[in-house]
Amino acid sequence: VTGSAAEVAAVLRAESTFVLSSHARPDGDAVGSSLALSFALQALGKRTTVVLHDPVPKPYQHLPGVGEVVIADGAESVPGAAVILECGELSRTEITGLTRPTMVNIDHHTGNRLYGTVNWFDESAAACGELVAELIDALGVKWTRAIATHLYLAISTDTGSFRFGPVSARTFDLCRRIAETGVDTSALSRDIYDSFSIGRVRLTGAMLDAMTLHHEDRFAVLFFDDALLSRCGAVIDDTEGLVNIPLGARDVVAVALIKQQGPDRYRISLRSKGQIDIRSVAALWGGGGHMNAAGCTIEGSLEVVRHTLVTAVGSVLNAVSDAAGVN
Ligand SMILES: [Mn+2]
């Protein structure tokens, strides 16, 4: 752990205007952490602007404050101290103009580069939203329903509904307090998880139909490209979270989702269960993330990319089997 909620709170109290940002292609933790903190700073009478590189995913668009999020490539025209949430390095924002005299970095990703003028990094947090919750307490701001809604979005999505990552007593204590604000967490969960398009449902079927299995069904590989998206009537937003589906099979302990980004260029999302360190696979190609969720970009033909991934994941699976004393 680097830094603390108290240290960050002292820095934030001294400023009056803020630009908050998070990573490109924002997920629930990026959106929830940014907006929860934005509402808390506003409660202290401060001016805030949330700037993201890409639109908020559709299932979260009706949540409070999302309509005021600025989508832009640059934040030069937005005044104030910068607060960067949920980014291992500043470049993950894909936004220029965020380097400021006061730049706060709050994150839980292993390998955070500590690029802020103030850094608070804690990889024991199940979501960046857990750190934001502590920070809001340190700022002395009462949790409103809007704040609690965004904290729940962050925590629920980053843990896959409390199934993975370092879910702890802290996680559930925060959720107890979220429920106490009057947020209807089951209605919110239906909004978050059951509001997909029919294109998404069709795409799920097509991708699973073409799924390949390797290493005695322990490793599943999914693939999509623009042609498959359009054939299913789906858009890129519809692919969020699909990488987790094969983990629903008892035998599957690791998944790669290969997304074609251009000729011979593929974005890889990786997931794993338990002690399978999938981040070590992403790191082979300069990627990053967490032990059970990581990503990287690989160049080459699809068949070569698939083959190298199968080999790399095989080594990780064997290492875990060896450590467990089985073959
Ligand atoms: Mn996160």
pLDDT at 241: 86
Inform me whether the pLDDT recorded for 98 exceeds 80. Answer: yes
CA of 128 to the centre of ligand 1 (A): 5
User: Locate tokens 């082979």: which residue?
Assistant: 284
Give the tens place of pLDDT for each residue, 277-306.
999 999 999 999 889 999 999 999 999 999
Of 69, 43, 45, the closest CA to residue 56 belongs to 69
Predicted model pTM: 0.81
Distance CA 201, CA 29 (A): 23
Handedness of CA 58, 94, 124, 277 (dihedral sign): positive
Whether residue 217 contacts residue 251, with contact meaning beta carbons closer than 8 Å, is answered with yes
**How much is the average pLDDT of 49-65?**
95
CA of 148 to the centre of ligand 1 (A): 17
Which H or E run contains 157?
helix 145-158
Give the tens place of pLDDT for each residue, 8-43.
999 999 999 999 999 999 999 999 999 999 999 999
CA of 163 to the centre of ligand 1 (A): 14
**How much is the average pLDDT of 129-133?**
98
pLDDT at 325: 63
pLDDT at 327: 47
User: Locate tokens 């999505």: which residue?
Assistant: 157
**How much is the average pLDDT of 293-322?**
95
Exposure string of 255-271, with b = 16+ CB inside 10 Å and e = fewer, is bbbbbbeeeeebbbbbb
CA of 29 to the centre of ligand 1 (A): 5
pLDDT at 63: 97
Chain-centre distance for alpha carbon 149: 17
CA of 127 to the centre of ligand 1 (A): 5
CA of 43 to the centre of ligand 1 (A): 24
For every residue of 273-314, DSSP letters joined together read: -TT--THHHHHTTT-EE-SSEEEEEEES-HHHHHHHHHHHHH
CA of 182 to the centre of ligand 1 (A): 24
CA of 86 to the centre of ligand 1 (A): 6
pLDDT greater at residue 254 or residue 195: 254
Residue 248 burial (C-beta neighbours within 10 Å; 0-12, 13-18, 19+): exposed
CA of 60 to the centre of ligand 1 (A): 16
